Chains A and B, each alone.
Chain A
Amino acid sequence: MALLEISDLSKRFGGVRALKDVSMNVEQGEVHALIGPNGAGKTTLFNCISGLYRPEQGAVRFKGRDITRKASHKIPQLGIARTFQNLELFRNATVLDNIMLGRYMHKRTTFFSEALFLPKARRQEVESRRKVEEAIDFLDLQPYRNRMVAGLPFGIQKCVELARALTLDPELMLLDEPSSGLNPEETQDLCFRIEDIQEELGITVLLVEHDMRVVSEVCDRVTAFDFGEVIARGTPEEVQQHPEVIKAYLGEEEEDAAASA
């Protein structure tokens, strides 16, 4: 049984069919990429998994359970975390406060004990802070701890969002274009981090990516999309050589694919 099973998922927006009978699996422990031109439906798929969109038909199964119709705030409670293409950080809060939100759903205290700041609430706060610091260490965010998110460089903001997702203690992470907006050095760091997430933390990663170097370097398997349909599956090398994929990307990527193969 795969960790995440998507069967015959379809989603339309008015006349636009964003996803057409999409089926794919993500195995436990792998790093799996979704590639495809802009508008292919990759982010729509993520949004369906996260519960932000309701698909018209089809199912999403996580660890065997059907989560298609689950409310969006229940999804992280089941163990799925995600990041966003254009960042959805809490801009008027500090980095620390942002990452601390990742511990919200793990809390065991009642409002009463929080309002009176009873010892149980105190202990939980300190414990949450400890966990958050682990994520901060993992992503080298120490110098930015108390800075407001709004003023930080884009690459750092992306790390903050990643740290926030990590503190949820997820089993599956959905990363939407993690390398967009990063320079080559930062992209290399990202690759290392994804590898660490897979190996050290044992988290399964599903990512949407346009940068083929990242895909080749860190991914175990790739699923290619175009116009809302799956057009190829397999290892990075297999998919990049696939005629349908080359046709979808039309030219440019052909050179990239040849260069990194």
Chain B
Amino acid sequence: MKFKLKKSYMEDLELFEYKSDMVWYGAILLFLVLFPVWAGNYWTYNLTLAGVYCIAALGLNILTGYTGQISLGHAAFFAIGAYTVGYMTSILGLSYWLALPLAGVNSALIGLIVGLPALRLTGIYLAIATMSFAFIIEHVIIEWPSVTGGANGLIINRPSIGGWSLNTDASYYYLVLIMVVLFVLLTKNIIRTPPGRALVAVRDSEVAAQTMGIPLAKVKTQAFALSAFYTGIAGALFAPLINFIGPDNFTIMESINFIVMIIVGGAASIHGSIFGAIFITLLSEFIRVGKDALPTFMQQQVGFQGAVYGLIIMVFILFEPMGLYGRYLKLKYLFEVFPLYRKDTFRREKKFQKTERTR
């Protein structure tokens, strides 16, 4: 394993532990910046969509991965962000650059309100309550046409900076890329400072957190609000990207989609959120490509994509609980300590008694 001699506490807090990491991430960033140039519009659009979902996945990870509060209703916050932008730009005619932050704030406020009754709920109760919240929002969207366009949906135009419109796939891509980088840095900062540690404390042991002076109620509601903020901004970026939003974009399956992203990518991990978002967004592409390799009768089946999706969820839960990022870490560790790797290094602990399960 690589070893770095550190001479100050500040070095332990740095973003990049090793100089080589900085080079790698720099290269990835360069790749991303040059992506639209060689990849073409279709893939640029898809990667932009993946970027929007990255932000949503980061948001969900903050609440579910780091703070341990299960939310099956994040599509609601996604919708709130999208429709705030929709209402303010398409119906009120205001500037997108005003609507974008307000979408986040609006979402955060509602997240705060949702977080309050959620304080006393845990586990399945919280999951079902958040799911119910999402259903309610879905119906509010349909029944409030003056604000949301109802079942007919809303058309949202791409924003413009000065006189220059972000109409092209490439121009909007850069907007989303910048936002993703900003949110990744924000998340990184939260995680390595007291607020992030408080979130993890609340997840791992509420009792111990209380004895450390952590105000549970405050931290949980703040986690909800913060998570909603992220997802609201994601929704606000989503709306102009696809130009048209309707209630069908924000169903329970969308909420589940977000959860699947963090499961597949890796919960409580920034890398995981990104891996998961990209993987799931591009999944339909992967399936399309992979389909050609299969016998014809399977190819033509109408539910094929759904079946693969369901299988992926199941496979990851059973075999890759740490997600793609976890698998990457495990492989990295394997190579680093080779040939001294021990077989059950990452075996999970199973709990067989009700009393041992705290979540």
Instruction: Confirm or deny: B197 has a beta carbon within 8 angstroms of a beta carbon on chain A.
Output: yes
Give chain B's interface secondary structure class. Answer: helix
A115-B186, A125-B13 known; A73-B210 Cβ under 8 A: yes
* Minimum CB distance partner of A132 in chain B: B9
Within 8 Å by CB of A121, from B193, B197, B200, lies B193
Instruction: Confirm or deny: A221 has a beta carbon within 8 angstroms of a beta carbon on chain B.
Output: no
Instruction: Confirm or deny: B216 has a beta carbon within 8 angstroms of a beta carbon on chain A.
Output: yes
Whether the Cβ atoms of A105 and B213 lie closer than 8 Å is yes
Whether the Cβ atoms of B10 and A82 lie closer than 8 Å is no
Whether the Cβ atoms of A104 and B197 lie closer than 8 Å is yes
Instruction: Confirm or deny: A260 has a beta carbon within 8 angstroms of a beta carbon on chain B.
Output: no
CB-defined contacts of A103 to chain B, threshold 8 Å: 194
Interface string of A97-116 (1 = CB under 8 A from B): 10011111101010100111
Whether the Cβ atoms of A107 and B10 lie closer than 8 Å is no
CB-defined contacts of A150 to chain B, threshold 8 Å: 349
CB-defined contacts of A93 to chain B, threshold 8 Å: 197, 200, 204
Interchain nearest-CB distance for A130 vs B (Å): 7
Total interface residues in chain B, CB < 8 Å: 32
CB-defined contacts of A107 to chain B, threshold 8 Å: 194
Whether the Cβ atoms of B189 and A117 lie closer than 8 Å is yes
Whether the Cβ atoms of B204 and A164 lie closer than 8 Å is no
Whether the Cβ atoms of A114 and B189 lie closer than 8 Å is yes
Whether the Cβ atoms of B212 and A130 lie closer than 8 Å is no
Interchain nearest-CB distance for B7 vs A (Å): 13
CB-defined contacts of A197 to chain B, threshold 8 Å: none
Whether the Cβ atoms of B9 and A126 lie closer than 8 Å is yes
Instruction: Confirm or deny: A50 has a beta carbon within 8 angstroms of a beta carbon on chain B.
Output: yes
CB-defined contacts of A126 to chain B, threshold 8 Å: 8-10, 13
Interchain nearest-CB distance for B252 vs A (Å): 29
Interchain nearest-CB distance for A13 vs B (Å): 17
Interchain nearest-CB distance for B8 vs A (Å): 8
The interface stretch among A26-34, A36-44, A84-92 is A84-92
Whether the Cβ atoms of A114 and B194 lie closer than 8 Å is yes
Q: 8 Å CB contacts to B: which residues of A51-95?
A: 51-52, 71-77, 81-82, 84, 88-93
Instruction: Confirm or deny: A162 has a beta carbon within 8 angstroms of a beta carbon on chain B.
Output: no
Instruction: Confirm or deny: A159 has a beta carbon within 8 angstroms of a beta carbon on chain B.
Output: no
Docked complex Cα distance between A84 and B10 (Å): 32
Instruction: Confirm or deny: B260 has a beta carbon within 8 angstroms of a beta carbon on chain A.
Output: no
Whether the Cβ atoms of B200 and A97 lie closer than 8 Å is yes
Instruction: Confirm or deny: B20 has a beta carbon within 8 angstroms of a beta carbon on chain A.
Output: no
Instruction: Confirm or deny: A147 has a beta carbon within 8 angstroms of a beta carbon on chain B.
Output: no
Total interface residues in chain A, CB < 8 Å: 44
Interchain nearest-CB distance for A97 vs B (Å): 6
CB-defined contacts of A100 to chain B, threshold 8 Å: 194, 197
CB-defined contacts of B197 to chain A, threshold 8 Å: 93, 97, 100-101, 104
Give chain A's interface secondary structure class. Answer: helix
Whether the Cβ atoms of B13 and A77 lie closer than 8 Å is no
Interchain nearest-CB distance for B136 vs A (Å): 29
Whether the Cβ atoms of A122 and B10 lie closer than 8 Å is yes
Q: 8 Å CB contacts to B: which residues of A5-34?
A: none
* Minimum CB distance partner of A91 in chain B: B204
A76-B213, A126-B9 known; A92-B208 Cβ under 8 A: no
* Minimum CB distance partner of B207 in chain A: A88
A73-B214, A84-B208, A114-B195 known; A129-B200 Cβ under 8 A: no
Within 8 Å by CB of A75, from B10, B207, B208, B211, lies B211
CB-defined contacts of B204 to chain A, threshold 8 Å: 89-93
Whether the Cβ atoms of B208 and A114 lie closer than 8 Å is no
Docked complex Cα distance between A109 and B194 (Å): 9
Within 8 Å by CB of B200, from A77, A90, A105, lies A90
Q: 8 Å CB contacts to B: which residues of A121-141?
A: 121-122, 125-126, 128-130, 133
Docked complex Cα distance between A91 and B203 (Å): 10
Instruction: Confirm or deny: B12 has a beta carbon within 8 angstroms of a beta carbon on chain A.
Output: yes
Docked complex Cα distance between A85 and B213 (Å): 19
CB-defined contacts of A50 to chain B, threshold 8 Å: 210-211
Instruction: Confirm or deny: A206 has a beta carbon within 8 angstroms of a beta carbon on chain B.
Output: no
Q: 8 Å CB contacts to A: which residues of B230-276?
A: 268
Q: 8 Å CB contacts to B: which residues of A174-196?
A: none
A90-B204, A104-B212, A105-B212 known; A115-B12 Cβ under 8 A: no
With contacts A92-B268, A100-B194, A104-B212 known, what are 10 further pairs, Cβ within 8 A? Answer: A72-B211, A73-B210, A100-B197, A101-B197, A104-B201, A107-B194, A114-B190, A117-B189, A117-B193, A168-B212
List B residues at the A interface (Cβ < 8 Å). 8-10, 12-13, 186, 189-190, 192-195, 197-198, 200-201, 203-205, 207-216, 222, 268, 349
In order of increasing CB-CB distance, the 5 nearest A-B pairs are A105-B213, A88-B208, A90-B204, A76-B213, A114-B193
List A residues at the B interface (Cβ < 8 Å). 50-52, 71-77, 81-82, 84, 88-93, 97, 100-105, 107, 109, 111, 114-117, 121-122, 125-126, 128-130, 133, 150, 164, 168
Q: List 17 A-B contacts (CB under 8 A).
A: A50-B211, A76-B211, A90-B201, A92-B204, A104-B197, A104-B212, A104-B214, A109-B193, A109-B194, A114-B194, A117-B189, A117-B192, A122-B13, A126-B10, A126-B13, A129-B9, A133-B9
